[in-house]
């Protein structure tokens, strides 16, 4: 299970059960459409800003050749917070991070 969060770990809705759902939510919250393109030496994830296409991020690249492996790799890269500070993290990791911050007094 994944939680979609902002940079300050504020959770945006309830948890989702799969990487695909988490990826779709992150893209939606960030205002991006996306598609995957196969290349000779791997795959790329092309993200387009719905409001300002000229401000779209550079494509994310994967060297995996198999479609399923490449898509998983690209989705995992995309949910790391680089899309307008919105990320998806495993729920267990989020709980652990919040506990660490609480104990650190942050």
Compute the half-sphere exposure of residue 11: CA atoms within 13 Å on the CB side of its CA.
Answer: 14
Residue 13: burial class (beta carbons within 10 Å; 0-12, 13-18, 19+): exposed
Helix and strand totals (H; E) in the chain: 3, 6
Separation between Cα atoms, residue 54 and residue 51, nearest integer Å: 9
Q: What is the DSSP letter of 6?
A: -
In this predicted structure, the answer to whether residue 106 has a pLDDT above a threshold of 60 is: no
Residues above pLDDT 70, as percent of the chain: 98
pLDDT level of residue 105 (50, 70, 90 thresholds): low
Predicted TM-score (pTM) of the model is 0.85
Q: Are 64 and 8 a contacting pair, CB within 8 Å?
A: no
């Amino acid at each position: 299970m994944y939680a979609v969060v902002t940079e300050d770990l504020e959770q945006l809705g309830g948890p989702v059960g799969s990487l695909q759902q988490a990826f779709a939510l992150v893209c939606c919250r960030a205002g991006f459409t996306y598609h995957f393109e196969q290349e000779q030496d791997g795959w790329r994830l092309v993200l387009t800003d719905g409001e300002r296409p000229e401000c779209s991020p550079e494509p994310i690249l994967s060297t995996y050749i198999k479609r399923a492996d490449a898509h998983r790799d690209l989705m995992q890269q995309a949910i790391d917070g680089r899309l307008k500070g919105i990320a998806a993290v495993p729920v267990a990791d989020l709980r652990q991070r919040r506990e660490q911050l609480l104990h650190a007094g942050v």
